[in-house]
Structures are given as C-alpha cells and as structure tokens.
C-alpha cells in the first residue's frame, strides 16, 4: 500500500509539473522541454533500471543466505558511476545533436548530464530499499521526488521563468532530494560481507540493458519521433508538447497498473519457482485478461474525456483529437499487458527472449512510423504495431518456455518491485 500511494502521488505530480510548464512556457520552448523529458526518462530508466533489478536480486539473495550485501552495493555504485560517465561523454560528443533537439538551450544539456547521475542514485537507492523490504522509504522516494518537482516548478512559474533550462534542472535535481528522503533514518543497508565478484551483478545485466532501453524508447519514442518529423509550422504550433501531454494522459492507467503488478507478480514468480505451471499460467491469464478488459474502458474514456482533461490541466486546447488519445491509450494497454508477459519470462530466466522481443518491437515502431504521412497518426500506429509485435513475441516465447518445463528460482517481493517499469 505505501508503494501504491507513492506511485500515485508521483504520477499526479508528473501531470501537475507538465501542466505548470505548459502554462508558463511558449509552445516552442515547451516543445524543447518535452524532448528533454522524453530523452531523460528513456535513457535514464533504460540504462539505470537494469542496475536496480540486479542490485535487488543480488542483495535479496545475500540476505536470504544471511550474508552482508555491502560489497554488492559498492560494486553497483561503481557500475552506475561508469554508466553515468559514459552518458556524459556521449552527450558531450553529440552535443550538436542534443543542442538542436533542446532548442539551443545549453542549460538543458547540463541538466541532462546531472539527471543521469540522479537517475543512477535513485535506481540504486530503490533497489537497495526494496531488497531490504523498506517499502516506506521506497514510497517516500517517489512522493518527495514528485512533490518537490511540482513545488519548484510553481516557484519558477511565479517568478516568470520563460526558458526550458530551469525546468529541466528541476527534473534533474529532485531525484537527489528523493534519495535523501528515502534513505532518511534507514540503517543496516550496507552490512559487511564477503567480496562480490562482478558476475554476481552482471550475470543478466546485458540482456536487461537491451530490453529496458528498448522498451523505454518505445514508451518515450513517440515524443522524440514527433519532434523529428514535425514541419517548422507544426513545431511552432507546439506539436511536440501536445503529443507529450496526450501521451501522459493516455498513460494514467499505468500508475494503477504498477500497483497491481507489485501485488500479483510475486505470486506468479513463486509458482514458477515451485514448478506449479498450471497455476502460473492461470494467474497470468487472468491478469492479462483483466488489463485488456479494463483497457477497453480506458480507451473509450480517453476518446471522450481525454481532450477535456488536457484542456483543464494544460490550459490550452490540444491539437490531439479523441481518436489520437484513444489510439495512444490502446497502445499503452497492450504495452501494459506485454510487460506482464516479459516479467513472467524473467521469472523463468528467459532474459534473452525478453530483450530480443523488445528490441524487435522498437524496430517495428521505427519502421511503421517512417512509412506514414500524418504526423500524429503515423506515430500512434507505430506504437500500436510495436506493442502488438512485442505482445505476440512474448506469448510465443512464454508458451515455448513453459512447454519445456523450465525451472525458475523464486523472485522475492523486493526484486519484483525493482523490475516494475516505473516511468514518468
């Protein structure tokens, strides 16, 4: 329950932050912030979430054996520092490309580099807290991060900031505040223990990295694609910002889905680990069926209520229609269902199949989007096509894995939390 509340608070804060920024900035400037937002979460979550997953798994295993996790956490911090440094070097090497995407705002470049360090600290903290079952601290990270982001954005709006850079800097800095809040009064997280070989953390890191980067680019890639494909006139009218607003509106069910996943996935993982495959399949089938059924309602609601909600929150009439929002909602419902299946594959130690499926789905998204003409429709159809490909791939791989009665180790509740696709 604390984690569910934390996720809902963070989701509402995300919506509020973007609403304040949209009302404060011009259409073109908000478009630059939208691209920054999409790239920040695509790269940050895509690269750092596998580290969180592996930390949660390794620490959970050590604690189950009564072994101190301190050496594993220190290894993870070093890996995270290397990841952050690689991103910083890449940003500097490609600064012209980033500069163009960010509308020439140099502060957004600085914020992006800082933000990668913040994402690293946040994911490491969450992995450590969840593996120790410190779920109050885990939830507090999300709550404080979201609330602080909104409060600072409100300050920027009051003093009349008209550039995207300060808003981007707020996004980059608030994860550090969330880390401080999450770790407040937390003791005994880094108990000493035997040295950790690199393999203890990197066993599945490569496949997880491919999978999470691919899914992050599918989820956030729509905003980036609109920015790249928009004509100068469409960019001036705020097409990129409009699409991000619609994307966030269509993704509202995702916040509730994360709470559902947190409660049901551990049960499925235990069943797989015990070899109870009939129960495993039955529970998974019920979960996916429930999401798809609720998705029909969510898609209809997005078509009817979505434009009104955008007008109320963001203070302007969106160029997105009810059809656009319905298509986006449908795409995310399929993605949510697919995430259930890919987590089941992870529970069955089929990391490579999960990663390949999402990498191919990213390719499908790019290919279908490239073929269209209508700016929003081509991206929306690309998202649906990529999501459907991933869903079909995961179904086939899961069927094949279960058919051969693959053995799986139980995944603890902490690891399951870490493997949730928390994405703003």
pLDDT tens-place string over residues 93-103:
887 888 777 87
User: For residue range 44-76, what is the model confidence (pLDDT) as tens digits?
Assistant: 888 888 888 777 777 767 776 777 777 778 888
Specify whether 296 is located in the same domain as 280.
yes
pLDDT of residue 406: 44
User: For residue range 209-242, what is the model confidence (pLDDT) as tens digits?
Assistant: 898 889 889 988 888 898 888 888 888 888 888 8
Specify whether 276 is located in the same domain as 394.
yes
pLDDT of residue 153: 93
pLDDT-above-90 percentage for the chain: 20
Span of 48-57, 173-182, 325-334, 413-422 with lowest mean pLDDT: 413-422
Given 185, 203, 221, which residue is the final one in a domain? 203
SS (H, E, C) the chain: CHHHHHHHHHHHHHHHHHHHHHHHCCHHHHHHHHHHHHHHHHHHHHHHHHHHHHHHHHHHHHHHCCCCCHHHHHHHHHHHHHHHHHHHHHHHHCHHHHHHHCCCCHHHHHHHHHHHHHHHHHHHHHHHHHHCCCHHHHHHHHHHHHHHHHHHHHHHHHCCCCCHHHHHHHHHHHHHHHHHHHHCCCCCCCCCCCCCCCHHHHCCHHHHHHHHHHHHHHHHHHHHHHHHHCCHHHHHCCHHHHHHHHHHHHCHHHHHHHHHHHHHHHHHHHHHHCCCHHHHHHHHHHHHHHHHHHHHHHHHHHHHHHHHHHHHHHCCCCCCCHHHHHHHHHHHHHHHHHHHHHHHHHHCCCHHHHHHHHHHHHHHHHHHHHHCCCHHHHHHHHHHHHHHHHHHHHHHHHHHHHHCCCCCCCCCHHHHHHCCCCCC
pLDDT at 421 over 60: no
pLDDT of residue 407: 47
pLDDT of residue 314: 79
Phi-psi region of 135 (alpha: psi -120 to 50; beta: other; left: phi over 0): alpha
Given 139, 173, 203, which residue is the final one in a domain? 203
Specify whether 248 is located in the same domain as 209.
yes
pLDDT at 156 over 90: yes
Q: Considering only residues 131 and 207, tell me which one the structure prediction assigns the higher pLDDT.
A: 207
Specify whether 198 is located in the same domain as 229.
no
pLDDT of residue 168: 92
Query: Domain containing 290: what range?
Result: 204-424
Specify whether 121 is located in the same domain as 223.
no
pLDDT of residue 53: 75
pLDDT at 417 over 50: no
Its pTM stands at 0.82
Specify whether 232 is located in the same domain as 320.
yes
Specify whether 125 is located in the same domain as 209.
no
pLDDT of residue 348: 77
pLDDT at 111 over 70: yes
Q: How many domains does the chain have?
A: 2
pLDDT at 287 over 60: yes
pLDDT of residue 258: 65
Angle at 141 between CA 219 and CA 163, to 5 degrees: 60
Specify whether 61 is located in the same domain as 181.
yes
pLDDT-above-70 percentage for the chain: 85
Specify whether 142 is located in the same domain as 239.
no
Specify whether 238 is located in the same domain as 151.
no
Give the residue from 89, 84, 62, 85 showing the smallest Cα distance to 73.
62
Specify whether 320 is located in the same domain as 421.
yes
pLDDT of residue 411: 46
Confidence of residue 388 (pLDDT cuts 50, 70, 90): very high
Specify whether 151 is located in the same domain as 214.
no
Given 150, 184, 203, which residue is the final one in a domain? 203
Q: Considering only residues 186 and 374, tell me which one the structure prediction assigns the higher pLDDT.
A: 374
């Amino acid at each position: 329950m604390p984690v569910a509340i934390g996720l809902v608070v963070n989701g509402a804060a995300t919506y509020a932050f973007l609403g304040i920024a949209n009302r404060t900035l011009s259409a073109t400037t908000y478009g630059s912030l939208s691209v920054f937002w999409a790239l920040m979460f695509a790269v940050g979550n895509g690269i750092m979430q596998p580290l969180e997953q592996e930390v949660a798994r390794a620490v959970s295993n050590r604690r189950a054996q009564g072994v101190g996790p301190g050496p594993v956490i220190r290894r993870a911090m070093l890996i995270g520092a290397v990841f952050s440094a690689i991103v910083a070097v890449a940003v500097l090497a490609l600064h012209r490309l980033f500069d163009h995407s960010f509308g020439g705002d140099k502060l957004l470049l600085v914020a992006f580099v800082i933000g990668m360090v913040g994402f690293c600290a946040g994911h490491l903290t969450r992995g450590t807290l969840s593996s120790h079952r410190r779920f109050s601290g885990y939830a507090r990270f999300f709550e404080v991060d979201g609330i602080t982001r909104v409060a600072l954005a409100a300050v920027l709006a009051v003093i009349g900031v008209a550039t995207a850079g300060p808003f981007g800097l707020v996004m980059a800095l608030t994860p550090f505040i969330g880390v401080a809040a999450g770790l407040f009064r937390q003791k005994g997280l880094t108990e000493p223990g035997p040295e950790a070989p690199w393999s203890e953390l990197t066993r599945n890191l490569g496949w997880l990295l491919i999978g999470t980067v691919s899914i992050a680019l599918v989820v956030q890639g729509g905003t980036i694609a609109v920015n790249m494909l928009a004509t100068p006139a469409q960019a001036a009218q705020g097409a990129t910002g409009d699409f991000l607003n619609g994307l966030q509106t269509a993704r509202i069910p995702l916040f509730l889905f994360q709470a559902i996943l947190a409660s049901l996935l551990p049960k499925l993982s235990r069943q797989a680990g015990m070899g109870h495959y009939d129960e495993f399949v039955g529970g998974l089938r019920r979960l996916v069926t429930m999401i798809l059924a609720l998705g029909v309602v969510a898609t209809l609601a997005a078509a009817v209520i979505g434009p009104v909600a955008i007008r109320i929150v963001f203070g302007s009439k969106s160029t997105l229609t009810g059809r656009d929002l319905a298509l986006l909602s449908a795409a995310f419902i399929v993605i949510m269902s697919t995430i259930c299946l890919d987590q089941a594959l992870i529970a069955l130690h089929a990391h490579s199949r999960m990663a390949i499926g999402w990498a191919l789905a990213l390719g499908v998204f790019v290919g279908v989007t490239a073929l269209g003409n209508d700016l929003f429709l081509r991206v929306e159809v690309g998202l649906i096509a990529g999501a459907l490909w991933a869903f079909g791939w995961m179904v086939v791989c899961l069927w094949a894995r279960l058919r051969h009665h693959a053995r799986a180790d139980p995944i603890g509740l902490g690891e399951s939390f870490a493997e949730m696709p928390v994405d703003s």
